[in-house]
Amino acid sequence: MSDVTLTNPGLGTYRLKEEVAYQAVSTALELGYRTIDTAQMYDNEAAVGKAIADSPVSRDEVFVTTKVWVDQLSRDTFRRSVEQSLARLNMAQVDLLLIHWPAPEGDVPMADYLGELKAAQDDGLTRHIGVSNFTIAQIDEALKILGPGSLLTNQVEIHPYLPNRKLVEHCQQRDILVTGYMPLAVGRVNDDPVLNAIAENKGVKPAQVALAWIKQRGIITIPSSTRREHLQSNLAAMDLELTVSESSRIDTLGYDLRLANPSFAPEWDLD
């Protein structure tokens, strides 16, 4: 059985469809990425699975995450949706299965969908389980239901304009890895004067500075890119070290720019 774990950085695949998703995953694996993030909602599980199958990298060396969408959380639909994900991915098992968002308005009890999540793990459909977009209160509720040590990660939005400090601390204190999504604030970091100044001084790119800042907080990051040079640069950013004073400057850039905020989002923790 594989013992591969979440590695930094993973490749995000939101918005990447069909051939574009296939190419991004293929190039990322070729460059050395070993963590790939998809979801039922991204409508690209088949292309992601095919890229992994066609790659010379063995399936055992790749950590694959998918996520159950909000309309599949009830006991009637959950398991079938996971089986359909596995069929699209053409895999017997994923490495990590996440609840993509807590149930909108609490319309499905958390105990129901976390029970289904745990059953999927117990039955071997996934090696690890976790959540995404869970608040501090929801993490506490989930741990009451599943017990300490049950959740590998909480995947939440994290970038220099949304450090999510309280939630990160809460998860890390409970041995829940934090995975930061939209780490480049969907491209906004590229034009940031502070990130550009730090980058210029170090002879690197502003996107790399943003990723290094996230990594130095002990967070897994999953930037998405369709371009080989960006994929390479994002990987190389993991070797970048920021000084305390550089990190402190980035700490001042913002705290509440939330880019993923659908109408059904929970009431967020404020930093």
Ligand X SMILES: NC(=O)c1ccc[n+]([C@@H]2O[C@H](COP(=O)([O-])OP(=O)(O)OC[C@H]3O[C@@H](n4cnc5c(N)ncnc54)[C@H](OP(=O)(O)O)[C@@H]3O)[C@@H](O)[C@H]2O)c1
| Residues contributing to the site for ligand X (CB under 6 A) | 12-14, 37, 100, 132-133, 155, 181-187, 190, 205, 207, 222-227, 230, 233-234, 260
- Whole-number Cα distances in Å, 178 to 40, 144, 174, 264: 21, 19, 11, 22
For residues 70 and 108, which CB has a smaller minimum distance to ligand X in the complex?
70
Residue 14 C-beta: closest distance to ligand X, Å: 3
Backbone angles phi, psi at 220, to 5 degrees: -80, 140
Helices (H), the chain: 18-31, 45-54, 78-89, 110-122, 136-146, 165-173, 193-202, 206-216, 228-236, 244-251
> How many angstroms separate the CA atoms of 101 and 45, rounded?
18
Q: What is the CA radius of gyration of the chain?
A: 18
Enter the tokens of residue 139. 């993490």
For residues 93 and 208, which CB has a smaller minimum distance to ligand X in the complex?
208
Helix (H, G, I), strand (E, B) or coil at 135: coil
For residues 166 and 227, which CB has a smaller minimum distance to ligand X in the complex?
227
Strand partners, 129: 97
For residues 37 and 116, which CB has a smaller minimum distance to ligand X in the complex?
37
Q: Which residue is nearest to ligand X (CB)?
A: 12
For residues 124 and 218, which CB has a smaller minimum distance to ligand X in the complex?
218
Residue 185 C-beta: closest distance to ligand X, Å: 6
Strand partners, 131: 99, 154
| Side chain identity at residue 29, one-letter code | L
Sheet of strand 63-68: strand arrangement: 11-12, 35-37, 63-68, 94-99, 126-132, 153-157, 177-181, 220-221
For residues 20 and 145, which CB has a smaller minimum distance to ligand X in the complex?
20
> How many angstroms separate the CA atoms of 22 and 103, rounded?
30
Residue 1 C-beta: closest distance to ligand X, Å: 25
Strand partners, 35: 63
Is 42 part of the annotated catalytic residue set? yes
Residue 155 C-beta: closest distance to ligand X, Å: 5
Which of 22, 33, 42, 113 is catalytic? The answer is 42
Residue 17 C-beta: closest distance to ligand X, Å: 12
Residue 154 C-beta: closest distance to ligand X, Å: 10
Catalytic site positions: 42
